[in-house]
C-alpha cells in the first residue's frame, strides 16, 4: 500500500540517522520504494552496475540517507 509505505518512510526519516528499506526497489508493478523516495526527497541513484545488487536505491529525505535494498536475498 503506497500510502502506508510513504507514511512509514517519512516517520523513519524523522527518527533515524539512516533508513534501510527491504524489497520494492526493482521495476515491478508494486515496487513503490523509488516513487516514495522521489516524492518525499531526492533519488540519488536507482540502480548500480553491479550484479546481483543492480536495483538498489540511494536517496535522501529530510537530510536522512535512504537505502532501498533489493528483495531477493542474494541481491540485498
Q: Are the CB atoms for 58 and 41 separated by under 8 Å?
A: no
Q: Could you give the dihedral angle defined by the CA atoms of residues 12, 18, 19 and 20, in that order, rounded to the nearest 10 degrees?
A: -160
Give 4-59 pLDDT, tens digit per residue. Answer: 999 999 999 999 999 999 887 776 777 889 999 999 999 999 888 888 778 889 99
Domain boundaries, the chain: 2-69
Domain 2-69 grouped into CATH 3.40.228.10 = no
* CA–CA separation, 66 and 69 (whole Å): 10
Give the global pTM. Answer: 0.86
| Higher pLDDT, residue 61 or 76 | 61
Amino acid at each position: 500500500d503506497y500510502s502506508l509505505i510513504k507514511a512509514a518512510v517519512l516517520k523513519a526519516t524523522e527518527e533515524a540517522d539512516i533508513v534501510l528499506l527491504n524489497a520494492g526497489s526493482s521495476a515491478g508493478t508494486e515496487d513503490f520504494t523509488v516513487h516514495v523516495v522521489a516524492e518525499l526527497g531526492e533519488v540519488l541513484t536507482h540502480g548500480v552496475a553491479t550484479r546481483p545488487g543492480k536495483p538498489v536505491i540511494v536517496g535522501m529525505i529530510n537530510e536522512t540517507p535512504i537505502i532501498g535494498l533489493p528483495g531477493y536475498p542474494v541481491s540485498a
